[in-house]
Amino acid sequence: MDNWELAGKISAQALNYGARLIKINASMKDIIEKVEAKIIELGARPAFPVQVSINEMAAHFTINEDDFKFKENDVVKLDVGAHIEGAIGDNAITIDLGNNKELVKASELALKEAIKIVKPSTKINEIGMVIEKIIKEFGFKSVRNLSGHSIQEYEEHAGMTIPNYDNKDETELEEDQVIAIEPFATDGIGLVEDGKLSNIYKIINLKPVRDNIARELLRFIAQEYKTLPFARRWLLKKFPSFKVNFGLRILERENILHHYPQLSEKSKGLVSQVEHTLLVKDQPKILTKAE
């Protein structure tokens, strides 16, 4: 089994494991740490920090030192990725802890129907059309400024956008591309906005830095994570907090690191998300399958 298939399988196994842990009164911190540990136990590494985004929060929420308990009626998005030598599997699921099953079904069916049309020469706006049509039929809206993406080694978002609506982009899929399709459905207005900073970072401009602490931190980040996203809390396992905080500030200021904002639905609408990673073929191969 090649690295892409194995990374996808491990991503799916870790996602399913985490989904079973999400219950009312369960600890978010405990679940995130267990899922990240499961990825490593299965023979891969996290491709990004495990994200657990609740209700109107659509993406980029992970635990730092704090913790949260899940509550009745929460709509919980679990987004999990694993990589093996840079080959990435990326998948997500929504767990409904209340009475929002139709919202979840909207994303699930949109993904299922979108996968059916994936093949070389499919236009990416055609995928968006299918997703938007299904979500509208359920009475909800696609989140227009969140999207799927192409994937390459050590690059989770590799340049191509896979839209969740007809964005008029007629770029065609190509044989053997790896893509992630991730429909987001909402009962809100269908747009997300930047919120608080997430403490999730990524190297965007690797260059020399003069400060000794920042240089030491950057050397470790480049070696351990390369161009994949990482969490501040991961660094705290290696360095004292004063070094982490000081070094990250300098690396951000020097435009070496991008600091991801949390993304929430602008009108505070509930959001559901599902995601699979696919290999583009005449019969597309879902890489993020547990078996």
State which H helix or E strand residue 151 sits in.
strand 148-151
- Alpha-carbon distance of 63 to 218, in angstroms, equals 22
Q: 3-state DSSP call for residue 181?
A: strand
pLDDT score recorded for residue 170: 97
Active site positions, annotated: 79, 90, 149, 157, 182, 275
pLDDT score recorded for residue 188: 98
Are 203 and 224 in contact by the 8 Å Cβ rule? The answer is no
- Of 192, 227, 151, nearest to 58 by C-alpha is 192
pLDDT score recorded for residue 65: 80
Are 31 and 104 in contact by the 8 Å Cβ rule? The answer is no
pLDDT score recorded for residue 119: 98
Count Cβ neighbours within 10 Å for each residue of 39-72 and write b for 16 or more, e otherwise: beebebbbbbbbbbbbbbbbbbbbbeeeeeebee
pTM of the model: 0.96
- Alpha-carbon distance of 138 to 185, in angstroms, equals 10
The full set of domains in the chain, from first to last, is: 3-193+267-286 (3.90.230.10), 195-262 (1.10.10.10)
Give 65's contacts (C-beta < 8 A, 6+ positions apart).
233
Model confidence over 251-278: pLDDT tens digits?
999 999 999 999 999 999 999 999 999 9
State which H helix or E strand residue 277 sits in.
strand 276-279
Residue 290 above 90 pLDDT? Answer: no
Q: 3-state DSSP call for residue 196?
A: strand
- Alpha-carbon distance of 241 to 8, in angstroms, equals 33
- Alpha-carbon distance of 263 to 249, in angstroms, equals 21
Of the chain, the percentage scoring pLDDT greater than 70 comes to 100
State which H helix or E strand residue 9 sits in.
helix 3-21
Residue 49 above 90 pLDDT? Answer: yes
pLDDT tier at 1, thresholds 50, 70, 90? low
Model confidence over 189-217: pLDDT tens digits?
999 999 999 999 999 999 999 999 999 99
Model confidence over 224-245: pLDDT tens digits?
999 999 999 999 999 999 999 9
Instruction: Note the maximum CA span of the chain.
Output: 57
DSSP assignment letter at 123 = B
178-181, strands of its sheet edge to edge: 161-162, 148-151, 178-181, 276-279, 285-286
- Alpha-carbon distance of 259 to 144, in angstroms, equals 22
pLDDT score recorded for residue 159: 87
pLDDT score recorded for residue 78: 98
